[in-house]
Structure 1
Amino acid sequence: MAVDALDARILRLMLEQPRTSVREYARILGVARGTVQARLDRLEREGVVTGFGPRLSAAALGHPVLAFVHIEVTQGHLDDVGDRLAAVPEIVEVFSTTGEGDLLTRCVARDNTHLEDVVQKIIRMPGVVRTRTEVAMRERVAHRMLPLVESVGRQAAPGRTG
């Protein structure tokens, strides 16, 4: 999907001011409200915008420990293990990967004892061969998309404004 300069400006506003209305985005950008709405609809339909909603803090929800658990899976059981991992609330993301492991999970826990319980739950799952856990010490770069949006916007041809 091609993102042009106007799309990039809209996405930047959405990231910087997520609670602002489409009407206000249009005013800030100096384009018609219908133009902004049509662009947003297209960006959502084409999968650039994947959702709207708050980003939540696991730490503020009582789960300040963050760990990455690498999982090696018996061949042919990747989908089964993925389905079982989805049933564990402390596992907030799972990715298939290349390299030593087959899956990489991002897990949160109340404390190290709770993290051990979560890892033990993973180890006991049918199809799991072994795990390797890495505890995050400190977040150095928070999840972000704005630098990418700005880079794409600089590379894009100027968009239509009406």
Structure 2
Amino acid sequence: MPVDELDTRILRLLIEQPRTSVREYARILGIARGTLQARLDRLERDGVITGTGPSLSPAALGHPVLAFVHIEVTQGHLDDVGDALAAVPEIVEAFSITGGGDLLTRVVARDNGHLEDVIQGLIQIPGVVRTRTEMALRERVPHRLLPLVEAIGRRASRTERRADGGGRR
């Protein structure tokens, strides 16, 4: 089922006020607690809501250096290399990609020397042909989903109004 306008309002609250209780969310939204819980359950079941844990800062954990490491892999070894990357704690994300490489990883490190050590370790993984590293200088747009959620909600609301005859009765 697609995300509708009420789902959008629920997701906005979850993003903006993550420590609020279900009862308080229901009060703010003006809906029954059971309705809210059913919506939350469906959003989780559909994979829209994927977690409820805290967001952590690698920099505050002593790893302020952020780099994106492109990894070229020997044909047929993508899964093996991917499994090996999962064992490297400094790799916080890894994706199969198209373009100039086979994998793109987001790597955090204590300092540039530590980053070099991590990269040297990556090169030793069987199946890794070469790496290319790009250092992040400053975060310009932090990870966010609220603008996307709001855009989806606006589209759903317009679609609902059109299906309802433009809101005329």
Q: Which TM class, normalised by the smaller chain length?
A: over 0.9
Corresponding residue number in structure 2 for 1:96: 96
Letter in 1 for 2:6: L
Corresponding residue number in structure 2 for 1:149: 149
Corresponding residue number in structure 2 for 1:111: 111
Any idea what the Cα deviations from partners look like across 1:55-103, whole Å, max 9, x if unmatched? 0000000000000000000000000000000000000000000001000
- Distance between the aligned counterparts of 1:96 and 1:38, measured in 2? 35
- Distance between the aligned counterparts of 2:110 and 2:67, measured in 1? 11
Structure 2: 5+ residue stretches without partners: 161-169
Letter in 2 for 1:57: S
Give the fraction of aligned pairs with identical amino acids, expressed as a percent.
80
SS in 2 for 1:56: coil
Instruction: Kindly state the Cα deviation for residue 145 of structure 1 after the two structures are TM-superposed.
Output: 0.4
Question: TM-score, normalization: structure 2?
Answer: 0.92
| Greater length-normalized contact order (CA 8 Å, ≥ 6 residues apart) | 1
Letter in 1 for 2:14: M
Corresponding residue number in structure 2 for 1:46: 46
Greater radius of gyration (CA): 2
Letter in 1 for 2:107: C
Aligned residues: 159
Structure 1: 5+ residue stretches without partners: none
- Kindly report the root-mean-square deviation, in angstroms, between the aligned alpha carbons of the 2 structures: 1.1
